[in-house]
Amino acid sequence: MKKIFAVLLAALLALASLPAFAANQKAELSAETADQIEAFLLQCREEGTRNFTITCTEALFDELRANSYAGVSKLCMKAGIDDPSYKYNYSGQFFFENVLFAENITYAEPATAEEASAAATRFVEMGAKGFTFSLSEELYETLFSNRGLYPILARLGVEEFQLSGSKAAGLLYVRNMRPFARDWAVADDLFAAGAIVSAWREAGKTAFTLVFDQEDYDSLSGDGRRLVEFLGGVSGGSVRTDRNARTLTYEQVSWDNTPAAYCASEEEIVAAIAGMGAQGERSFQLMTSQEVWDAIYPNSFARLYELHTQAGLSDCSLRYSSVTRTLLYDNAEITADVTVLASAEEAAAYMDECAARGEERISMFLTADVYDSLMEGVSSIRLFAQDSGVYSLAARAGIFHYGIRPNRDSGSLAFTDIEYFPGTVILRAVEAGEEGSLPPRLQETLAAARAMAGECQAESDVETARRIHDRLCETIVYTDDESTEEDDCAIGALLNGQANCDGYSDAMFLVGRLAGLEIAYQHGNSKDGGLAGLSSTHIWNVIRLDGSWRMVDVTWDDNESMAPGYLWFNIGQDRAARTHVWKDGVGYPLFETTDESARPVAEYRVATEEDVTAATADACEKGLEAFDLYLTGDSELTRFTTRIAMEKGLTGACAYFWVESLGCMHVQLG
């Protein structure tokens, strides 16, 4: 006790003996102990002195120089000098000039991890950008080598920092701390994490970080993350985990606002479904515990359907994931009052009605045969088969992109996250008098379409359609570039001058409707031997002319060999079916026979070489710019013999284009 008192008394006497000095004076100290230097530096800090000299005894000088001058560094940091600049000589003197004292002292000597956490908390709360710890060798290993500081700082809202240190000196440096650049929170458990994320969803947040304890973080690699996302309503986005900090970070989050509930018993499933029905919810999700899933999953969900009955659920579109033990309900019905569509025609009409209202989600119930017909070619592996009837169903309604949730058990199809062709969106806004609400790019497209429609207006619908057809062929270059979605719609066709078949048909639809034509989209496949031998998914248009539907395929008529051609303009079932294939009932009922009198280019029916020669001579005599030679069904002519016979009747130069599937040669004279 006497020894302790003597040490304290010596320190107090040393402090009392320190000279008072002004801030602009150079202070000096002769020190025998580190305590004297510490007291001296604190006094300099208090009085604002920035220049001073410290003269040490030989023993003290050696002590301060140990471990790369760690002793000096500790004393400086205790006084709030984070980056000391000093010189020294081997006479035991340290010379400090223009010293800068930090506003707050961020140095601590914690003896335990708990004390380190408390000190770090204090430094973060005061707004420090970094701090320094002087640690025992064991604690240094814990906080540095084992990354012990990462979870401590993460729970304080620190996302990044620079960590360095000197094990020999027991000094650990944390510098350049940066807070999370997004919303963050510490989750007490997984259910609390789900609630936090749900609140962020309600607030419209798209980026955030969750900080967990070690046990909950370890569970994220199993079902934990799924549970958090389920309860929070996360449907997509980029996510990364940080094992050191025990964090889960989301960016560019997309939300699923479907109501959700976690069920740990069968009774909770019944209560959850009944509750959703009472609230008028038709779409919701349930996640179950493993025990409950094991009870309801066997025998094709036999037990689950019993629970549905108990809950009053008569029908629904149901998907599930056995991996996540999740049930996803769409179009849930508490009563049996469901309209069942008994034909593809009914399904198409229903889809058109819903699309006309701009619905972003469309659900329908079908008889088994209609369901199988529309879903032919679609499987769990190939859910988005573009050659299926269901794809044609959506395309003809003007639907551009969508998700699909099929359920054969209930015969239901649910189209979700629907996006419409820009042409459809623009026309709906025009009809509603809401053009001003359109995005700038769509307003530009509308202006271009209106101008073209006005320029192409004619006395008859056939002539108006032909003029629009010609203008699009003149102004659009075909492209299969998939780097921009504008090529897939009227925007690319009318503003950029390039498009694929989607863009051609959307532009024809938009301009035609603005010009007063009754026009629609038609989706299907091109046939083998069609244009350039193509065989692929395709989209074109149908127009009602003279009271019946006719086919117009601007994409195929826009060919370098024709300027423009009319092989696929204003044609009926007889010619269209040779090159295009569409689902029965989903396509529009085309006029049975092409009206040759309404064709823009002269046509000749030929069976022999003499017929070809005579037709060619007649066209030349009449001064036609172009004509088409169609082989009769019994003709044995080939491309080669047709060309030879045509050349015999020519009076000048020509260019020709042969379409095998049509048995037709298009000829350009001059």
Average pLDDT for 325-343: 74
d(CA 464, CA 471): 11
- Cβ partners under 8 Å of residue 434, min gap 6: none
Tens of pLDDT, residue by residue over 168-210, are 888 898 999 999 999 999 999 999 999 999 999 999 999 999 9
Which of 546, 659, 658 is closest to 597 using CA atoms?
546
What is the rounded average pLDDT for all residues in the chain?
A: 86
pLDDT score, position 339: 60
| 486 pLDDT more than 70 | yes
Other C-beta atoms lying within 10 Å of the C-beta of residue 351: 24
- The residue with tokens 């906080």 is 143
**3-class DSSP state of 309:** helix
Which of 128, 90, 88, 91 is closest to 108 using CA atoms?
128
| 326 pLDDT more than 80 | yes
The first and second tokens of residue 174, run together, are: 């944390």
**Cβ pair 606, 632 in contact under 8 A:** yes
Average pLDDT for 345-362: 90
pLDDT band for 15, please (50, 70, 90 cuts).
very low
- The residue with tokens 């000048």 is 652
CA of 145: how far to CAs of 41, 137, 140, 142, 608, in Å?
32, 11, 7, 6, 92
Average pLDDT for 253-257: 90
Which of 302, 283, 422, 308 is closest to 361 using CA atoms?
283
d(CA 379, CA 382): 5
Give DSSP secondary structure letters for 130-171. -EEEE--HHHHIIIIIT-THHHHHHTTTEEEEEEEEETTTTE
pLDDT band for 660, please (50, 70, 90 cuts).
confident
| 612 pLDDT more than 90 | yes
Tens of pLDDT, residue by residue over 549-576, are 999 999 999 876 665 678 999 999 999 9
pLDDT score, position 528: 56
Q: Given its phi and psi angles, is residue 80 left (phi above 0), alpha (psi -120 to 50 degrees) or beta? A: left
Average pLDDT for 420-431: 95
| 345 pLDDT more than 70 | yes
pLDDT band for 464, please (50, 70, 90 cuts).
very high
Q: Which of 148-157, 161-170, 497-506 has the lowest mean pLDDT?
A: 161-170
Question: What is the four-CA torsion angle of 510, 514, 515, 516, rounded to 10 degrees?
Answer: 110
pLDDT band for 334, please (50, 70, 90 cuts).
low
Other C-beta atoms lying within 10 Å of the C-beta of residue 208: 22
Q: Which residue type does 549 have?
A: W
The first and second tokens of residue 470, run together, are: 């010609």
Q: What b/e sequence results for 622-657 when a residue is b if at least 16 CB atoms lie within 10 Å of its CB, and e otherwise?
A: eeeebbbbbbeeebebeeeebbebbeebeeeebebb
Which of 268, 264, 190, 266 is closest to 229 using CA atoms?
190
pLDDT: which is higher, 598 or 315: 598
Average pLDDT for 281-286: 92
**3-class DSSP state of 544:** strand
pLDDT score, position 193: 94
CA of 246: how far to CAs of 123, 213, 217, 241, in Å?
21, 7, 6, 7
Phi, psi dihedrals of residue 126, rounded to the nearest 5°:
-80, 0
